[in-house]
Amino acid sequence: ANSRKAICFVTGVPGAGKTLAGLNISTRNDSDSEEHAVFLSGNGPLVTVLREALARDDVARASMRGDRMDKKSAFEKVSSFVQNIHHFRDEALRSDKPPVEHVVVFDEAQRAWDREHAEKFMTQKRGMPSFDMSEPEFLISVMDRRTDWATIICLIGGGQEINTGEAGLVEWFSALQNHFPDWHIYHSGHIIHPNYSWGQDLNSKLSRRNATVVEDLHLAVSVRSYRAEKLSEFV
């Protein structure tokens, strides 16, 4: 409505339904709206399983309605809104046009690559030695191509070890601070917890930004074990 660009950080305890929330956003189909969304993950097996499950579900639902839908058509449809992050990135590299999506959901966003690792991958695997951005900066830049509005939703898992090249949350805020000052930030306030910040000082970056605290962006109850609300805290 206001032609703004925003980024939302969704945190939550293990099993709270972060991925489910992201899928619910990306799979909303409104034929009267031009709002397109995509769920992105760097976890190849997860993308494969989600596509297969959603395609089977579409076929089953069509059958219950008395309609006919073949598995191939269902899979192609699902593949448009559940993608591997590398596929989305490679498509954006082929052209400088804005993406068709207004909304991008990035699963496990804290595991995005830093500039050094992204540059190394693009040089060795894609033959692009001129690539000099971190994964968060590049993803934001792709959505920033839109002249109307865009929203990035970052799903943040806590308590994970840093693997080689994983940038953590600080890279998202550095990119926003240095290159995209007009973007609005929404978070629950929990992202400064060591489980999510990995010991980085996010307060200093947030204090200078157009950031809004929305408590509902933290999912505090596990839906996997909903009777054991305090289990994660105990562990």
| Model confidence pLDDT, tens digit, residues 165-185 | 787 788 898 899 889 999 999
* H or E element, residue 211: strand 211-213
The encoded tokens of residue 227 equal 């009777």
Q: Please give the pLDDT value at position 1.
A: 86
Strand partners, 11: 156, 218
What does the mean pLDDT of the chain come to? 87
Mean pLDDT by 10 residues, the chain (235 residues): 94 88 82 77 92 94 92 91 91 92 93 88 85 92 96 84 73 90 92 77 72 92 73 73
With 0.85 as the threshold, say if the pTM is over it: yes
Tally of CB atoms within 10 A around 105: 28
* H or E element, residue 90: helix 85-94
Q: Please give the pLDDT value at position 208.
A: 62
What is the rounded CA–CA span in Å between residue 51 and residue 235?
33
